[in-house]
């Protein structure tokens, strides 16, 4: 009997799947999108100071992805129910 309670406690403390998928998705985006942005802007948009502006574009993309991750983290439900506190 004790063994079952230990197993159920372990399962309750696990990380939800949607949180892991969100983290992996943002991690992949944080790696790939700045590289794609850099090379795309290097080839198509900027002619004069190519590497400078392409690098700045990639840095802006990193900041956008991080901002979106922070917004998604704040909007995520914490999983703990809120208690109504009544003052008498």
- Binning pLDDT at 50, 70 and 90, where does residue 46 land? confident
Q: pLDDT at residue 14 above 90?
A: no
Check residue 44 and give its pLDDT. Answer: 86
In sequence order, which residues have a C-beta less than 8 Å from that of residue 21 and are 6 or more positions away?
none
The reported pTM is 0.68
Domain residue extents for the chain: 28-76
Better-predicted residue by pLDDT, 83 or 8: 83
For 56-79, the pLDDT digits (tens) are 999 999 999 999 999 998 988 766
**Cα(72)–Cα(19) distance, integer angstroms:** 10
């Amino acid at each position: 009997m004790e063994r079952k309670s230990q197993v159920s406690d372990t399962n309750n403390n696990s990380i939800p799947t949607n949180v892991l998928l969100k983290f992996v998705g943002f991690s992949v985006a944080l790696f790939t999108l700045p590289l794609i942005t850099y090379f795309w802007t290097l080839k198509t948009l900027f002619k004069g100071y190519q590497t400078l502006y392409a690098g700045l574009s990639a840095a802006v993309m990193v900041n956008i992805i991080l901002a979106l991750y922070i917004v998604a983290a704040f909007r995520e439900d914490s999983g703990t129910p809120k208690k109504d506190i009544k003052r008498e």
